[in-house]
C-alpha cells in the first residue's frame, strides 16, 4: 500500500477515535440527557460514589457499577480519575465480585505509614475498604450476608489485589452492616471505621486496617429513622472564622428524606477516636427521641439535612486531600432510590453531583454545614453575560438578551424582594415544558418545581409536587447560585446555606429562560450568567 494511503487510513482512524471519545462527553440526539459537565459512566448502571481519595495529583472516583445492565445488579467498583475534579478519565473496573460476594459501597485511604504492610518500594499503598454482600446467603435467609473486606493497590489505583484473609470485619448477625468509611485519626494514631448498621452507626479502631475493634455507637436516639442508615462519613472541619475544629458525621437515609425518598442528614459534635458526642446546641435544636410507649417507636423525627432536593444521595468526602489545600470536598449520587432505576436515560443511568466544598458555620441554632461548588467549576465558564440590575414585576425574558442557552448554564443572582413577593427562575422549551426555581419571601422558602418539566410518567413518585427548602439565614438580599446541566439543577442559596439538587427530563433541551417577579416589584441587585462546557 502506498505510504500516503496508509497515512490517510491512519488519519481517518484517529479522527473516528476522536469523534467516539467526544460522543461520551457531549449530548447527542440519541443521548438527550447526557450532561455536559457532570460525571456519568459511558454506559450502564451507576449508584453511590465510593473510595474517593486523592493521591499523586489525581482525584479517584470509584462508584457502584453494574457493567451488564442499566438497572441495579451485581455490584462492581467502576473507576475514573481527574486532575481538576471536573474533567474525568474513565478507567477499567477496579473491583469485581468474588466468592465473598458483591462489592458494595466503601472508602479508600492512602496508608502513608504502611501500617498494613501492603506498601512496595518505600511507597504507600492505596487501601480500599468495602462491604461484600453475599446474595446467595441473603436468599437462603441468613442475617450475616454483609461483611467488610479490603484490597490494595501499588500502582496509583490502576490494579487492585484483594487481601487474602478477607473479611476483615465479619458480621455479628446484622442484616444491615455496611458502607465502611475509614479515616486516619491523627490524635490517637489509629484507623477509625464508621459503619452504618440499620438505625445507628458503630465506630471501630484498627492499627493496620486488618483487625478491627468496636469502640462506640451513635444515633439510635438522634436524627431521622424513617429509613435505613447507609453510607456514613466522618470528618473534622475548622469552624469558619475561628481556629477550633468540630467533627461532622453525615448519614444518608433511605427513605425518609425531607421531600421524599433518599437524602442525607448530618450531625455536628466531637470525636475522640472512639466515640462521637453531639454538640449540645445542635442537639437542643434537633430534639431527642422519646420512645412512644404505645408504639415502642421514637415520636420525634427531626433531622438537619445536607440538601433539600431529591437527588443528592450517598455523598461522602475525599480522603487525603493535602493539608496545603485543606478543603473538605464531597460528591453525591444525583438520583433517588424512589425512581433511579426507571429514569429515561440510555445507555447509562445516573450522574454524580458537581463536587462541593463544605464549610462549617456557627449559627444561632447550632453548627451548620454550608456547601459550595468547588472553585475548579469556574474553569467551565465560557460566554459570560452581566445581567443589568433592575427593579421589575412580571416576566423578564433573558434568552435573547444574554445569548446564553440555559441547557448548560451557571447563574449567580442577588435579589431583594418584599414579603408577599415570589421570585422565579423559569427554564422552558418549545415542547411546553417548564422548570421553576423559586423563592417565596413570605414563607422564607425556596422551591424546585419539576411537575411540568417533561417526562415523569416513569414513576408516580418523581414529580408529584414541588420540593421545598427552608431559608437558613436572615439576610436582606437573597443569593441564588445555580448550575443547570440539561437534566439537572443544583441550587446553592445564600452562600451554600440552603442546597437543593433535582433532576428532570424535558422533551427537548430547555432553550428559554426568564426571571419572574410575582405579586410585587422584585429587585435584581446583581447577576451573572455563564454558558458552561468542558
Ligand atoms: C446506598 C446503597 C449502599 C450499598 C449500595 C449498594 O445507595 O444501598 O448502602 O452499599 O447502595 O449498591
From 100, 123, 102, select the one nearest 111 (Cα to Cα). Answer: 123
- pLDDT for the residue 297: 56
- Which runs of consecutive H residues, i.e. helices, occur in 76-227? 135-139
**Does an H or E element contain 18, and which?**
helix 3-25
Whether the CB of 210 sits within 6 Å of ligand 1: no
- pLDDT for the residue 365: 87
Whether the CB of 134 sits within 6 Å of ligand 1: no
- pLDDT for the residue 29: 61
For the record, the C-alpha cell of 414 comes out as 442577588
- pLDDT for the residue 221: 87
Instruction: Name the closest-CA residue to atom 6, ligand 1.
Output: 104
- pLDDT for the residue 286: 73
Whether the CB of 267 sits within 6 Å of ligand 1: no
pLDDT tens per residue across all 534 residues of the chain: 444 444 444 444 444 433 333 333 445 567 999 999 999 999 999 999 999 999 999 999 999 999 999 999 999 999 999 999 999 999 999 999 999 999 999 999 999 999 999 999 999 999 999 999 999 999 999 999 999 999 999 999 999 999 999 999 999 999 999 999 999 999 999 999 999 999 999 999 999 999 999 999 999 889 999 999 999 999 999 999 999 999 999 999 999 999 999 999 999 999 999 999 999 988 877 766 655 556 555 555 689 999 999 999 999 999 999 999 999 999 999 999 999 999 999 999 999 999 999 999 999 889 999 999 999 999 999 999 999 999 999 999 999 999 999 999 999 999 999 999 999 999 999 999 999 999 999 999 999 999 999 999 999 999 999 999 999 999 999 999 999 999 999 999 999 999 999 999 999 999 999 999 999 999 999 999 999 999
Whether the CB of 338 sits within 6 Å of ligand 1: no
For the record, the C-alpha cell of 317 comes out as 468526602
- DSSP code, position 341: G
- pLDDT for the residue 14: 41
Whether the CB of 75 sits within 6 Å of ligand 1: yes
- pLDDT for the residue 292: 57
- pLDDT for the residue 464: 97
Within 10 angstroms of residue 61's Cβ, the number of other Cβ atoms is 23
Shortest-distance atom of ligand 1 to CA 105: 10
Distance 76 CA to ligand 1 centre (A): 12
Whether the CB of 178 sits within 6 Å of ligand 1: yes
Name the residue of 49, 104, 197 to mutate for ligand 1: max ligand atoms within 8 A of Cβ. 104
pTM score: 0.93
Whether the CB of 500 sits within 6 Å of ligand 1: no
- DSSP code, position 367: E
- Phi then psi dihedrals of residue 22, to 5 deg: -65, -40
From 166, 164, 168, select the one nearest 182 (Cα to Cα). Answer: 168
Shortest-distance atom of ligand 1 to CA 131: 10
Distance 105 CA to ligand 1 centre (A): 6
Instruction: Name the closest-CA residue to atom 9, ligand 1.
Output: 230
Distance 240 CA to ligand 1 centre (A): 32
Dihedral angle over CA of 46, 51, 54, 55, nearest 10? -110
**What secondary structure, in 3-state letters, does 180-198 show?**
EEEEEECCCCEEEEEEECE
Distance 371 CA to ligand 1 centre (A): 23
Distance 48 CA to ligand 1 centre (A): 7
Q: Are 336 and 264 in contact (CB under 8 A)?
A: no
Shortest-distance atom of ligand 1 to CA 252: 1
Return d(Cα 306, Cα 28) in angstroms, integer: 33
Determine whether 196 is exposed, middle or buried from the number of CB atoms within 10 Å of its CB (0-12, 13-18, 19+). Answer: buried
Q: Return the percent helix, strand and coil in the chain, to nearest 5.
A: 10, 45, 45
Distance 103 CA to ligand 1 centre (A): 10
- pLDDT for the residue 72: 98
Whether the CB of 314 sits within 6 Å of ligand 1: yes
Kind of pairing between the strands at 348-349 and 44-55: parallel
Q: Is 161 helix (H, G, I), strand (E, B) or coil?
A: strand
Shortest-distance atom of ligand 1 to CA 313: 7
From 210, 209, 215, 230, select the one nearest 110 (Cα to Cα). Answer: 209
Whether the CB of 426 sits within 6 Å of ligand 1: no
Task: Name the region of 263 (left: φ>0; alpha: ψ -120 to 50; beta: rest).
Answer: beta
Instruction: Name the closest-CA residue to atom 8, ligand 1.
Output: 230
- pLDDT for the residue 16: 40
For the record, the C-alpha cell of 524 comes out as 435584581
Distance 53 CA to ligand 1 centre (A): 19
Whether the CB of 230 sits within 6 Å of ligand 1: yes
Q: Are 350 and 40 in contact (CB under 8 A)?
A: yes
- pLDDT for the residue 1: 42
* From 48, 311, 440, 509, active-site residue: 48
Active-site residue, 48 included: yes
Amino acid at each position: 500500500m502506498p505510504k500516503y494511503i496508509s497515512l490517510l487510513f491512519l488519519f481517518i482512524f484517529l479522527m473516528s477515535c476522536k469523534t467516539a471519545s467526544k460522543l461520551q462527553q457531549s449530548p447527542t440526539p440519541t443521548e438527550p440527557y447526557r450532561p455536559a459537565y457532570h460525571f456519568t459512566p459511558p454506559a450502564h448502571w451507576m449508584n453511590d460514589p465510593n473510595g474517593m481519595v486523592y493521591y499523586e495529583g489525581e482525584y479517584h472516583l470509584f462508584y457502584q457499577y453494574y457493567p451488564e445492565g442499566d438497572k441495579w445488579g451485581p455490584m462492581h467498583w467502576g473507576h475514573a480519575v481527574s486532575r481538576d475534579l471536573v474533567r474525568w478519565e474513565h478507567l477499567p473496573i477496579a473491583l469485581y465480585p468474588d466468592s465473598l460476594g458483591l462489592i458494595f459501597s466503601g472508602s479508600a485511604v492512602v496508608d502513608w505509614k504502611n501500617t498494613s504492610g501492603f506498601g512496595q518500594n518505600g511507597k504507600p499503598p492505596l487501601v480500599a475498604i468495602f462491604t461484600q454482600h453475599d446474595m446467595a446467603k441473603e436468599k437462603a435467609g441468613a442475617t450475616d450476608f454483609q461483611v467488610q473486606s479490603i484490597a490494595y493497590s501499588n500502582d496509583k489505583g490502576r490494579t487492585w489485589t484483594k487481601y487474602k484473609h478477607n473479611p476483615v470485619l465479619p458480621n455479628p448477625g446484622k442484616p444491615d452492616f455496611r458502607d465502611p468509611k475509614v479515616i486516619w485519626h491523627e490524635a490517637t494514631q489509629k484507623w477509625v471505621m464508621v459503619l452504618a448498621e440499620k438505625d445507628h452507626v458503630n465506630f471501630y479502631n484498627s492499627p493496620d486496617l486488618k483487625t478491627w475493634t468496636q469502640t462506640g455507637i451513635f444515633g439510635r436516639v438522634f436524627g431521622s429513622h424513617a429509613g435505613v442508615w447507609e453510607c456514613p462519613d466522618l470528618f473534622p472541619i475548622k469552624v469558619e472564622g475561628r481556629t477550633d475544629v468540630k467533627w461532622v458525621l453525615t448519614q444518608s437515609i433511605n427513605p425518609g428524606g425531607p421531600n421524599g425518598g433518599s437524602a442525607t442528614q448530618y450531625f455536628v459534635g466531637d470525636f475522640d477516636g472512639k466515640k462521637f458526642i453531639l454538640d449540645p446546641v445542635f442537639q437542643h435544636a434537633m430534639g431527642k427521641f422519646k420512645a412512644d410507649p404505645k408504639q415502642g417507636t421514637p415520636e420525634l423525627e427531626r433531622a438537619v439535612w445536607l440538601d433539600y432536593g431529591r437527588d443528592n444521595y450517598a455523598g461522602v468526602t475525599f480522603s487525603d486531600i493535602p493539608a496545603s489545600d485543606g478543603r473538605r470536598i464531597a460528591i453525591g449520587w444525583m438520583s433517588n432510590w424512589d425512581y433511579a432505576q426507571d429514569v429515561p436515560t440510555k445507555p447509562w443511568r445516573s450522574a454524580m453531583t458537581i463536587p462541593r466544598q463544605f464549610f462549617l458555620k456557627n449559627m444561632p441554632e447550632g453548627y451548620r454545614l454550608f456547601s459550595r461548588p468547588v472553585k475548579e467549576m469556574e474553569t467551565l465558564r465560557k460566554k459570560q453575560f452581566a445581567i443589568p440590575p433592575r427593579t421589575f414585576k412580571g416576566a423578564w425574558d433573558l434568552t435573547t438578551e444574554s445569548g446564553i442557552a440555559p441547557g448548560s448554564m451557571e447563574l449567580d443572582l442577588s435579589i431583594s424582594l418584599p414579603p408577599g413577593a415570589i421570585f422565579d427562575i423559569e427554564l422552558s422549551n418549545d415542547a411546553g415544558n417548564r422548570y421553576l426555581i423559586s423563592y417565596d419571601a413570605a414563607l422564607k422558602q425556596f422551591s424546585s418545581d419539576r411537575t411540568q418539566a417533561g417526562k415523569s410518567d416513569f414513576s408516580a413518585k418523581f414529580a408529584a409536587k414541588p420540593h421545598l427548602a427552608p431559608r437558613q439565614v436572615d439576610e436582606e438580599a437573597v443569593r441564588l447560585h445555580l448550575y443547570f446541566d440539561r437534566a439537572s439543577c443544583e441550587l446553592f442559596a445564600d452562600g451554600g446555606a440552603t442546597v437543593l439538587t433535582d433532576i428532570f427530563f424535558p422533551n427537548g433541551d430547555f432553550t428559554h429562560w426568564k426571571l419572574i417577579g410575582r405579586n410585587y416589584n422584585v429587585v435584581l441587585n446583581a447577576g451573572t450568567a455563564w454558558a458552561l462546557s468542558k
